[in-house]
A and B are shown apart, each in its own frame.
Chain A
Amino acid sequence: MSITEYFELVITDYTLRTITLGTAVLGAICGMLGSFAVLRKQSLLGDAISHAALPGIAIAFLITGAKDSNVLMLGALVSGLIGTFWIRGITSKTHLKSDTALGLILSLFFGFGMLLLTFIQKQPNANQAGLDKYLFGQAATLVEKDVTIMVFVTGICLIVLLLFWKEFKILLFDADYTKTLGFNTKFIDILITFFIVLAIVLGLQTVGVVLMSALLLAPAAAARQWTNSLKVMIILAAIFGAFSGVLGTAISASDNNLSTGPVIVLVAGVFVLFSFIFSPERGILFREIRFRKNRNDLQLKKTLQFMYGIAKTHENISHPHAIRILNNFQGFTKGSLRTMEEKEWIQLKGQEWSLTPVGFEEAKNLFNQQKND
């Protein structure tokens, strides 16, 4: 199946449509909430939460003996939340730094989860197979019920986001100040964290424990490159996330049955790479171009300044001087002389240069200009 065939099929094929819608919604909610994680510099939190969810999935299965995705997700939610609040507790009650607490919870919970998975696999129960799909996710298992829940949670998340927009924004920027204004910062914080946990748990079935945090962070990191507005950043992150979901599903469905989760994450990664290089303001490409241009401009102006110093000593500012006296001046090149001639700052005649009135004025005003910037 080619990509175009895929998009034709999305319209007619019910299963494919469900999966595509699911991954799109998932990408959108992850992008939205990932923005908060990125701006709070809590990038590792997502990783810790997703790993902390694993034992919950295993325990939910052990208790119910069924592989109902909603029940397993509930288990994931509970253990994800427990992990998160332990992290908070450890950081606030002990000397440990937050990355230590995150790492600790991540490995403890994940280790315990893996232990349970191995234990489950040894059970003589025909039903046990396939729990390990939660490690790397399997979008193909998404059914309408799963997608309905995703849409529902995303809707609630949107409402909460709009309702508490002002509170979220100020907490992200300046938590201490928010507290002095009388806001219950703990409540706002827990609200954000709760939704991040929810988004991660929603994604486990599709993207899996191991890669989930990438889907949370990548769209947001990419979006940050394109805008200086929080609102636009969150909208862009949601769009990037949704596109990653759809494109990832399309690619994996059309090519050798590649695993969907990793492909979605890779697509999101391409968004990040592209944004880090090509975004106009923050991207490295344009930054480098701007840097070079500024450096060349400055080099040129320094040379002009040097010429101005020489020309000033003569009554006639356009008195010709030998090019050779510039040789000792650092940063002078033949090319820069030509550029200066193009700008009509100087005139070149044989082995001599002379300042034009335009160039003279330019040099005289150089420092004034810079001051006004």
Chain B
Amino acid sequence: MKQKFAIKVDDLTVAYDYKPVLWDIDLAVPEGVLMAIVGPNGAGKSTLIKAVLGIIKPIAGSISIYDKPYKEQRKLVAYVPQKGSVDWDFPTTAIDVVMMGTYGSLGWIKRPGQKEKKAALEALEKVGMLPFKNRQISQLSGGQQQRVFLARALVQNASIYFMDEPFQGVDASTEIAIINILKELRKAGKTLVVVHHDLQTVPEYFDWVTFLNVKKIAAGPVKEIFNDDNLTKTYGINYKVAINK
């Protein structure tokens, strides 16, 4: 049986100014996996996601979502940006932010209505944020802000989810809540690409992993490739001790 790929990246090279940040990346993500992208700070993890989503223009390479360019498939894709990429002091409420997830399917000018509001409320419920729906976003804790971002992506009702460090700055209970939602999505056949920092939890949370440090070091099932060898290649130091503890 031939495997179906949700995302395919070929020969992708990205640079900011003259500095190459991603170098000749080939990547094929099978449909239905929950994949971690791991790598040190500045490895280009966020850049990889941004390039796939068309936020950044690559120097070279091609990207496809279910064999078509992103432009034609964007309704299949949802995105959770790094939390620090927005100003949380922006004057708006939690439900308003979640509602933004419906803007893509609404298109230009059309305003969200009852249907969109209902979807937003359901998403807030799912991430346990319903009681905070009218809270100004600056008055949410870091974990709650992360949940709001997740809810916004859930509202997009996509097949592929890109999440940039969704566990950053969250407490243990939020982390569990989020990972449960991710696992549920995978069970429903969705494909998830998650930038992840905590190496200890990779085997527990994910079934697929990509090692990235400017170049792609390795990509494949966690069971097969999540080992000291690849970790050392990616992080440049010996990870044996850290992982086996």
Contacts and interface: CB of A to CB of B under 8 A. Distances in A.
B136 interface: yes
B53 A173 contact: no
A163 B86 contact: no
Interface stretch (B31-39, B92-100, B178-186, B200-208): B92-100
Contacts of A230: 90-92
A170 interface: yes
A167 B103 CA distance: 8
Contacts of B104: 180-183
A233 B91 contact: yes
A163 B112 CA distance: 13
Interface stretch (B74-82, B222-230, B235-243): B74-82
Interface string B41-79: 000000000100111000000000000000100100101
Nearest to A181: B104
Interface string A213-236: 000000000001001111011000
B1 interface: no
A69 B72 CA distance: 49
B53 A164 contact: no
Given A174-B100, A228-B91, A230-B91, A183 B108 contact: yes
B111 interface: yes
A179 B85 contact: no
B106 interface: yes
A176 B96 CA distance: 17
Contacts of A172: 90
Contacts of B74: 180-182
Contacts of A3: none
Contacts of A233: 91
Interface of B: 17, 50, 53-55, 71, 74, 77, 79, 81, 85-87, 90-93, 96-97, 100, 103-104, 106-112, 136, 138
28 contacts: A39-B91, A95-B17, A163-B109, A166-B103, A169-B96, A170-B103, A172-B90, A173-B87, A173-B90, A174-B81, A174-B85, A174-B100, A176-B55, A177-B79, A177-B100, A179-B53, A179-B54, A180-B54, A181-B74, A181-B103, A182-B104, A183-B103, A227-B91, A228-B91, A229-B91, A229-B92, A229-B93, A230-B91
Interface of A: 39, 41, 95, 163-167, 169-170, 172-174, 176-183, 224, 227-230, 232-233
